[in-house]
Amino acid sequence: MPSRRASPPINASPPAEKEEILEKEADQDENTEEEIFYEEVDQLQAHGINVSDINKLKCAGVCTVRGVQMVTKRNLCKIKGLSEAKVDKIKEAAGKIVNCSFVTAMDISFARQKVITISTGSKQLDSLLGGGIQSMSITEAFGEYRTGKTQLAHTLCVRVQLPLNMGGANGKAAYIDTEGTFRPDRIRSIAQGCKVDDDIALENIIVARAYNSDHQMELITELAARFAEEKGAYKLLVVDSIIALFRCDFSGRGELAERQQKLGVMLNRLVKVSEEFNVAVFVTNQMCADPGAGLTFVADPKKPVGGHILAHASATRLYLRKGRGEERVAKVYDSPDVPESEASYAISNIGITDISI
């Protein structure tokens, strides 16, 4: 029988090489600590909460301690098996782990240092956005057809996988497709343009096709559990588009109030997910004609769908429109970080790029 080769001992590495390995491991541990800055809901067990009750929270998509504090007592009581007394105890335990009271502005400044930015592929557009699409908030892009909303979503799914020094976030992407417009072949061409292995790029993107507004909400809840399970692996969540299924499921003015209420609940959930897991949430939105705009002499009679509910939920709103020829123009419609301004970009085989001169 051939002799079996013994594995080399760990100490067999040269001292210099051994130091290099230790440094890399330390860097990896440090990066992991930076990425995972939330407290898992399992920590409630140390404060007297049963494992069975913790599992019920996880099944409902509440996977972090901050997530417990974000959900109202009334909604927690709706979870099967959780009584009002249990919910009070869970809330009390969560308050001991995470402080949700007043903090200094310096503490907020320190927390904001963990915000990541993902490049759009266009230097001009990145400059307009202050570096790219930001985490811990919702970025909305609205515009007519053929303005590049879905193309921008595809480009971000690839660029989020790039290293930090290349405008990426070294993470994975989740894509909720409500209109059936996700194209793996488009991801391949963009990945090749970014010099990324296209097979690996596709493996790092999870996609779900939503068929109605309720299903869309269920997918967001499922993603919250996945984000917690994979601990900092995901850095981008795309919903393309946020409003399409609501326009189908709720028609006419008679159902408008119900539609806006459900849309508000979904957007509130997306905001919480972005803050809980430090992911960038990018949503696309449609436009509609404003019949009353002609009476007020408005230059552009089109407006984004979703009303004030969507306008207040989105931290940054981008208005995309067609320019001359292949040119597209992005305007900052609203943002707490950057002033209103415009930038030109183009759509090419490798995704969103700058206009070639």
Q: Which of 13-22, 79-88, 141-150 has the lowest average pLDDT?
A: 13-22
**What's the pLDDT score for residue 296?**
54
Query: Is the per-residue pLDDT at 35 higher than 70?
Result: no
The reply to whether the predicted model has a pTM over 0.75 is yes
Rg (CA), the chain: 23
Q: Which of 139-148, 161-170, 282-291, 308-317 has the lowest average pLDDT?
A: 282-291
Whether 149 is covered by a domain: the verdict is yes
Structure tokens at 36: 């995972």
Distance CA 169, CA 160 (A): 5
Task: Give yes or no: residues 163 and 308 share one domain.
Answer: yes
Q: What digits encode the pLDDT tens for the residues 289-340? A: 776 555 555 556 678 988 899 999 999 999 999 888 889 999 999 999 999 9
Distance CA 325, CA 209 (A): 33
**What's the pLDDT score for residue 33?**
40
Question: Can you give the residue range of the structural domain that contains 170?
Answer: 112-353
Q: Taking the chain, what is the end-to-end CA distance rounded to the nearest angstrom?
A: 69
Domain count, the chain: 2
The torsion of the CA quartet 73, 79, 83, 88, rounded to 10 degrees, works out to -30
**What's the pLDDT score for residue 217?**
95
Task: Give yes or no: residues 146 and 185 share one domain.
Answer: yes
**What's the pLDDT score for residue 231?**
86
Task: Give yes or no: residues 93 and 201 share one domain.
Answer: no
Task: Give yes or no: residues 143 and 273 share one domain.
Answer: yes
- Amino acid symbol at 172: K
Task: Give the mean model confidence (pLDDT) for residues 197-226.
Answer: 95
Task: Give the mean model confidence (pLDDT) for residues 184-213.
Answer: 96
Query: Is the per-residue pLDDT at 49 higher than 80?
Result: yes
**What's the pLDDT score for residue 289?**
75
Whether 105 is covered by a domain: the verdict is no
Kindly report the average pLDDT of the chain as a whole number. Answer: 86
Distance CA 161, CA 169 (A): 6
